[in-house]
Structure 1
């Protein structure tokens, strides 16, 4: 579950040039993410993430895999649910880019929407595809089958909750550093 939700949101974070571990400014102050904005960004990214998932897994899944037999229906549902979410996704990307600073993706700030949106779409799909290992495809397919009956809005909200929990976990107490003896040679 964490892998799928992470993949959906990772594309948005990656486009912004950050990730949960890096979603902090130079003073280590956490980026405060608005849950409604995260949910919209996730809904925006869902059809793109599905495309990335398909690109990574289509050749390694068995012929009767859920993704292979239900992709078109999932894509239609996800695309319909993503309508009207671009402005929130763009706003979140800009917010994360502002917090990160730097110039690596600063050119995007001045991009018009008609140029930025296809750029983000391609980047999210590619980044999700690159993150999935073929060995993970069967497990992701099994989880996808269980999540499919949920309304898309619930899926997006669930991803938002998981991302929030993951970010809290990363900001949480650090494990004790226990010195270890070097491994015998």
Structure 2
């Protein structure tokens, strides 16, 4: 059974973007690409979590009072993370349909970025169960004092360390062996 923190970290990394593609991905992601994907996806992950959890949390809680400011700190770093995140996103989609992936890769960033962001936010919101909201809000509140780059690096570290295939199970994210 996957722990709540593992689900949140996986969502943060945008794993939900292409679960089927990841299972068959020919290329692995290096740690830098994972970090860029995490850094780029975090604002959308936070927004998706806040939207999904709003009806289940106190109006005086962290998401209600400081969530938008928190997400904004990560949004300011999105452009710096985009090149690596785009590379990771395209690698994740390459095995499923190379021709479609080539078409998507040819889109201008101004068209592709909003698509990726909306998809991440919706997928995260759809995966969160109401009974997880208090724990998710607490986890975000605990991370909030860290600078944005440290939070993304910490989540990347956890993903890389946790991405060790276990007996009878394949890796959940195609991270290059040298990274972990």
Query: Could you tell me the TM-score, scaled by structure 2's length?
Result: 0.80
Tell whether 2:88 aligns with 1:92.
Answer: yes
Report the Cα distance in structure 2 between the residues aligned to 1:35 and 1:102, rounded to whole angstroms: 24
Q: Is the 8 A contact 2:10 2:16 kept in 1?
A: no
Question: Any gaps of 5 or more consecutive residues in structure 2?
Answer: 170-180
Measure how far apart 1:110 and its partner are.
Answer: 3.1
Q: Is the 8 A contact 1:6 1:159 kept in 2?
A: no
Secondary structure of the equivalent of 1:58? helix
Pair 7,14 (structure 1): closer, same or farther in 2 beyond 3 Å: closer
Secondary structure of the equivalent of 1:18? helix
Instruction: Look at both structures and tell me which one has the larger radius of gyration over its CA atoms.
Output: 1
Partner of 1:180: none
Report the Cα distance in structure 2 between the residues aligned to 1:147 and 1:37, rounded to whole angstroms: 22
Alignment of 1:1-185 (within 5 A): 1-9=5-13, 11=14, 13-15=15-17, 17-18=18-19, 23-25=22-24, 31-98=27-94, 100-102=95-97, 106=101, 107-168=103-164, 171-174=165-168
Secondary structure of the equivalent of 1:83? helix
Q: Is the 8 A contact 1:58 1:68 kept in 2?
A: yes
Query: Could you tell me the TM-score, scaled by structure 1's length?
Result: 0.78
Structural RMSD (CA): 2.2
Report the Cα distance in structure 2 between the residues aligned to 1:134 and 1:59, rounded to whole angstroms: 9
Report the Cα distance in structure 2 between the residues aligned to 1:105 and 1:60, rounded to whole angstroms: 39
Aligned residues: 164
Report the Cα distance in structure 2 between the residues aligned to 1:105 and 1:154, rounded to whole angstroms: 35
* Runs of 4+, deviation exceeding 6 Å: none
Q: Is the 8 A contact 1:8 1:49 kept in 2?
A: yes
